[in-house]
């Protein structure tokens, strides 16, 4: 029951955000609400990862994987918090600061995602599907990753050459996204391998998060091209970002609950 609630929570959160953003559409409070909602969602992402990570003992593979995975978002939270203080000489240094944090966060994000995506190999799980089917899933993930996250890299390289250091954020973020989105394939296959079992829940919820990030990148790439207004782009982006973050929270809590349930159920036998 708790696990089902964890699957619904991110969607409810997204719906509430969307509803409130609709009510506040022409209000000056919209931006404040957006920032608080976004930072809370990011904080819950980190909280979920910490809950999962610390459910494992020191030195265990999944502890390292979860903690590295969420350290990326923790760094982005720290970056956002420091940006609130006016400590930058000018926009050039502000761009370097944001770009630097984004680069480190994306490196950690890639390592963490890669570790989570490699869990099946470490555990010795056989992924479902024939070799051909797996290759198709990998190929599709790579094409989608390049299609959705690639354009922001291509667009921002010339801007960086012109001295716009803010472009660094989008380039590093885009590079990280291409690699992380590509790793959707093994995470999805791990969730499919464990479907029907309790462990299918944390992996299914993690898959829901990475798939939502994929849609997020698609929206970032496509909506401006479709001449959508700023409000529509913002609501779509923030709703998807919140759902993706909350699914990580749900996945982390589900992992901890499954472990707790296993120990409890085994002791009761």
Partner 1 sequence: MPEKPMHAQLQERLSAFLGENTARVAVSTFAKKAVNKTPEELTRDDIPAVLDALGPMLRTLLGEASAKSLLESIGKEVLG
* Contacting positions for partner 1 (CB under 8 A): 55-57, 60-63, 119, 122-126, 128, 193-200, 258-260, 262-263, 265-267, 269
Q: 216: helix, coil or strand? A: helix
**Which one, 3 or 171, has the nearer CB to partner 1?**
3
Q: Are 245 and 42 in contact (CB under 8 A)?
A: yes
Number of H helices, E strands in the chain: 10, 0
Chain centroid to CA 107: how far? 14
Q: What is the DSSP letter of 88?
A: -
CB nearer to partner 1: pick between 113 and 167: 113
Q: Quick check: 21 and 235 in contact, CB under 8 A?
A: yes
CB closer to partner 1 out of 95 and 200: 200
Closest to partner 1 by CB, 62 or 248:
62
Q: Select from 169, 244, 191, 248 the least CA-distant residue to 214.
A: 244
In the bound state with partner 1, the residue whose beta carbon lies nearer, of 144 and 206, is: 206
Beta carbon of residue 31, minimum distance to partner 1 (angstroms, whole number): 42
The residue behind tokens 């699914």 is 247
Nearest distance in Å: CB 196, partner 1: 4
Q: What's the start-to-end Cα distance of the chain, in Å?
A: 22
Shortest distance (Å) from residue 197 CB to partner 1:
4
**How many other C-beta atoms lie within 10 A of the C-beta of residue 207?**
20
Gyration radius of the chain's alpha carbons: 19
Closest approach, Cβ 72 to partner 1, in A, equals 22
The CB-of-92 to partner 1 minimum distance in angstroms stands at 46
Of 84 and 124, the one with the shorter C-beta distance to partner 1 is: 124
Smallest separation, CB 200 to partner 1 (Å) = 6
């Amino acid at each position: 029951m708790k696990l089902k609630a964890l699957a619904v929570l991110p969607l409810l959160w997204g719906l509430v955000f969307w509803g409130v953003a609709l009510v506040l559409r022409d209000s000056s409070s919209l931006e404040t609400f957006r920032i608080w909602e976004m930072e809370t969602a990011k904080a819950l992402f980190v909280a979920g990862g910490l809950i999962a990570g610390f459910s494992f003992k020191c030195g265990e593979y999944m502890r390292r994987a979860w903690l590295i995975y969420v350290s990326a978002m923790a760094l982005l939270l720290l970056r956002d918090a420091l940006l609130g203080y006016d400590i930058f000489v000018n926009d050039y240094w502000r761009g370097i600061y944001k770009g630097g944090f984004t680069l480190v966060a994306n490196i950690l994000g890639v390592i963490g995602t890669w570790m989570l995506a490699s869990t099946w190999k470490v555990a010795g799980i056989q992924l479902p599907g024939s070799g051909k089917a797996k290759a198709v899933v990998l190929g599709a993930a790579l094409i989608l990753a390049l299609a959705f996250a690639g354009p922001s890299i291509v667009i921002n390289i010339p801007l960086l050459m012109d001295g716009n250091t803010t472009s660094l954020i989008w380039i590093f973020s885009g590079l990280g996204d291409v690699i992380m989105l590509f790793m959707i394939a093994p995470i999805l296959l791990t969730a499919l391998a464990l479907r029907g079992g309790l462990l299918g829940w944390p992996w299914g919820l993690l898959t829901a998060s990475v798939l939502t990030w994929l849609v997020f990148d698609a929206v970032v790439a496509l909506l401006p091209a479709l001449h959508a207004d700023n409000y529509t782009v913002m609501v779509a982006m923030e709703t998807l970002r919140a759902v993706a973050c909350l699914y990580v929270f749900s996945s982390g809590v589900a992992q901890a609950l499954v472990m707790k349930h296993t120990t409890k159920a085994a002791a009761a036998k």
